[in-house]
Structure 1
């Protein structure tokens, strides 16, 4: 029955082993040779019949070959786990980058839209500036013309003042003539009076001349008064016109500067418009590039997700292969194979029996209760990293278990560790080589002080939980070593407590 089961289990796994060994870096020719040797060994075993010695030798060979498969499966499983972790991390990074790229793309688009809007506003401002410049230039020309008109008016006003002064001089002369005429008329009247009847007609003429002289004098006075008023008003107007001329000159100068300022503004707006146009184009190119990057990252993320899914399938199949090799070792445990694994199994069975007896004695003596033993409280020891725990029974194990565990290491230099664990993977008393003084250095303490830790990794937790007659696991430790871990169950008063595990380096030899 065993041979039939073995043929069904081992031969199909050869192809799987080959596939994963290649993944782990073993040459194809070596795998082919391994598979052929397995098949030939099985055929030889089947043809030899019930010869136990021959079978035991073949079983030993099968054990060695299966060990190699287990090592390869452990390497592949560990490698795939690392790949999965890397894929998960890279996938997470890719997702973050994709989100950031999408946000950058949206931001770039928003900036592009804003730049386009600013460009439109700049162009509108450019048009307004151009219109303002034209209006300013027209106003400047109007002010210049007004200045010329004011200058002309000022000149004409000065000419009017000069003419008024000349008229005033003439009226002064006329006034003098009127006064002389009045005197002559007076003298003529006197002489006419002396002449008597003969001078009466002349007297009438003299009176008329005198009256005319008086009217002329009165008119001259009126004209003089009017000219004086005109002169005063002309002086005031001339002063005002002078102020207007000066103010107009200032306005002309200001309008000229305003025109130049509008020219500078228009030039700056033109340059800004060109710059914004370039920015808008650059942002559009950046948006296109960012979109391409986002698309590429999404493709990478999808590829990583697909690869991660496939690698998890591979890891699952590698684990299945590892379980198959465990089954082979379990079945071979009943045969005298003469292999090192058989020696380790004998050591483990003996140690498990003794550990169970010591724990039973502890219960019997009342050092702890069944609840303390089978459902203990794990109290974390302060200041330990990685964390360590104390239990109600570890005082007894510290006292008694070294006498069971340490001789195994002394008898078998190939063995790395040997000790009892409970169903949670708690290692109450580790070997002395792994119970060195704590240093505070995490890496050193993790490697050299492993006692009173809970090893609840997939390998460690199975060591204490299984109740099979033997479990041989192959795994990669957190220190990087590929190990075989052989464990057998520990029973206390026929109740399953945990397991005794022995670790030794896996070898392809």
Structure 2
């Protein structure tokens, strides 16, 4: 904890001595009593800061635990979704396996039918080939018949010629050749009928040859088609065999998927049970931590009240210069506000305006109130010199009862940089509402002063232990807010 030397307090020295140390009934305390109270004040101040540090650490852990609870809830929800998805996969795998078994049975049945059809097609192809061979033999036989018919026709013509010659010779023989004439005429008639028959046979043979030739052509085409069908049927049979093998492989994979899914389901169930157990434990721990945080917050409040009570005894402590300075500065602000209202330069209604209007595009959000222009005009002259009290002073700024800080010190009132909220949060702290425990307590305190301890987040996981002393600001007896003075310890 840092003491303030007289060299570091030019303004405090100019504002008169601190109040004398008083005991019961206003009696002056003896030096030993003063020393004891000062020692108690130092110890209580150290305890207050330590409690604030511990409380802040517990609060950080509580936030982490809260996030862990939310994360575990999310993980539990994900595990439940995973379990449902795994169940769906398992059911789908079982259905797919059943469908695969049915498909294999269908393929096997189809294979049997295809084998039977292939056998029939093979037999048909063989029959067609045999029919072609028989057609060829029949064509050969018809050719021989045609040749025989030609021979018969030639013989008939020769016989007819011989019969004609015999008739001529019989006519020359007269009565002696009359009997031979009759024979010759009969032979001639028989020859004629033979020629007629051979011509009819030749015509029939021609027609029969054409039909047989057509049948032979059709038979050859049928044989070719049967051979093609046989080849295609063989290809289909091979494809069906491959399909059967593929379906068998799929069935094996489905078995593996089902087994793996069953294992995954057991693991997911175990994980889900683990999440439930962890979640219950973390939730219980978070509840206990919240209770501990509340207890620590009560202890911090009690230690701060004890520090304030020690300070009110009139014994000078390390906090006394800051307490006196902030009280005098708060009185100056009260007087300045009151003068503006009584002179009619500013209305009491606007001074207590709480209709905050956001500044467009600000990040973090900044807001304006009806009195922001007034505080910009009056407060810097009072707040800025307070920074010179000690090198430990971090800031001095007034807040209303809602924690709204209209006018900050100049070093914390930089224009915001668009798109850089991190820099803005550290350097553009004016026109902001700080509704945290310390800020609201400082704005709403109506006692002569309020001394608080807290951790200030410096960014990057770094925290600085701070004290915040505030004094109330009144305007015409009405509580406007408080003036905060923060300093490092």
The answer to whether the superposition gives a TM-score over 0.5 is yes
The Cα of 1:319 is off from its aligned counterpart by 0.6
Q: How does 1:183-198 map to 2 (within 5 A)?
A: none
The Cα of 1:445 is off from its aligned counterpart by 4.7
Q: Equivalents in 1 of 2:416, 2:230: separation in Å?
A: 94
1:274 aligned onto 2:252: yes
The Cα of 1:500 is off from its aligned counterpart by 3.0
Task: Name the residue aligned to 1:121.
Answer: 99
The Cα of 1:470 is off from its aligned counterpart by 3.2
The Cα of 1:385 is off from its aligned counterpart by 4.3
Task: Name the residue aligned to 2:66.
Answer: 88
1:104 aligned onto 2:86: no
The Cα of 1:140 is off from its aligned counterpart by 2.4
Q: Equivalents in 2 of 1:214, 1:400: separation in Å?
A: 156
- What SS class does the counterpart of residue 479 from structure 2 fall into? strand
How many positions carry a matched residue from both structures? 458
- Structure 2 gaps, min length 5: 1-22
> TM-score w.r.t. structure 1 length?
0.77
Task: Name the residue aligned to 1:342.
Answer: 320
User: Which residue among 429, 443, 453 is the counterpart of 1:464?
Assistant: 443
The Cα of 1:169 is off from its aligned counterpart by 3.3
Q: Equivalents in 1 of 2:165, 2:476: separation in Å?
A: 180
Q: Which has the higher helix share?
A: 1
Task: Name the residue aligned to 2:18.
Answer: none
> TM-score w.r.t. structure 2 length?
0.79
Q: Equivalents in 1 of 2:182, 2:465: separation in Å?
A: 164
The Cα of 1:321 is off from its aligned counterpart by 0.6
Q: Equivalents in 2 of 1:322, 1:270: separation in Å?
A: 74
1:362 aligned onto 2:336: no
Task: Name the residue aligned to 1:57.
Answer: 35
Task: Identify if the C-alpha distance between structure 1 residues 271 and 397 changes in structure 2 by more than 3 Å, giving closer, same or farther.
Answer: closer
Task: Name the residue aligned to 1:498.
Answer: 481
152-161 or 318-327, which deviates more: 152-161
The Cα of 1:389 is off from its aligned counterpart by 4.8
Q: Equivalents in 1 of 2:182, 2:315: separation in Å?
A: 186
- What SS class does the counterpart of residue 338 from structure 1 fall into? coil
438-447 or 265-274, which deviates more: 438-447
User: Which residue among 469, 472, 488 is the counterpart of 1:486?
Assistant: 469
78-87 or 298-307, which deviates more: 298-307
User: Which residue among 432, 455, 463 is the counterpart of 1:453?
Assistant: 432
Q: Equivalents in 2 of 1:383, 1:223: separation in Å?
A: 116
Task: Name the residue aligned to 1:160.
Answer: 138
Q: Equivalents in 2 of 1:117, 1:82: separation in Å?
A: 51
Task: Identify if the C-alpha distance between structure 1 residues 445 and 133 changes in structure 2 by more than 3 Å, giving closer, same or farther.
Answer: closer
- What SS class does the counterpart of residue 367 from structure 1 fall into? coil
Task: Identify if the C-alpha distance between structure 1 residues 356 and 183 changes in structure 2 by more than 3 Å, giving closer, same or farther.
Answer: closer
**1:330/1:469 contact within 8 Å kept:** no
**1:485/1:502 contact within 8 Å kept:** yes
Task: Identify if the C-alpha distance between structure 1 residues 494 and 191 changes in structure 2 by more than 3 Å, giving closer, same or farther.
Answer: closer
Q: Equivalents in 2 of 1:208, 1:397: separation in Å?
A: 160
Q: Equivalents in 2 of 1:181, 1:399: separation in Å?
A: 158
1:76 aligned onto 2:54: yes
Please give the root-mean-square deviation of Cα atoms over the aligned residues, in Å: 3.5
Q: Equivalents in 2 of 1:323, 1:197: separation in Å?
A: 178
The Cα of 1:413 is off from its aligned counterpart by 4.1
The Cα of 1:156 is off from its aligned counterpart by 2.0
350-359 or 273-282, which deviates more: 273-282
Q: Equivalents in 2 of 1:465, 1:217: separation in Å?
A: 147
Task: Name the residue aligned to 2:400.
Answer: 422
Q: How does 1:10-29 map to 2 (within 5 A)?
A: none
The Cα of 1:173 is off from its aligned counterpart by 3.8
Q: Equivalents in 1 of 2:298, 2:446: separation in Å?
A: 19
Q: Equivalents in 1 of 2:287, 2:186: separation in Å?
A: 142
Post-superposition Cα deviations, 1:332-351, rounded to whole Å, max 9, x if no partner, equal: 23323321223333333333
Q: Equivalents in 2 of 1:255, 1:79: separation in Å?
A: 82
Q: Equivalents in 1 of 2:361, 2:238: separation in Å?
A: 80
1:145 aligned onto 2:128: no
**2:353/2:369 contact within 8 Å kept:** no
**1:368/1:392 contact within 8 Å kept:** no
- Larger RCO: Structure 1 or Structure 2 (Cα < 8 Å, ≥ 6 residues apart)? 2
Post-superposition Cα deviations, 1:46-82, rounded to whole Å, max 9, x if no partner, equal: xxxx975443332222222222222222122222222
- What SS class does the counterpart of residue 340 from structure 1 fall into? coil
- What SS class does the counterpart of residue 77 from structure 2 fall into? helix
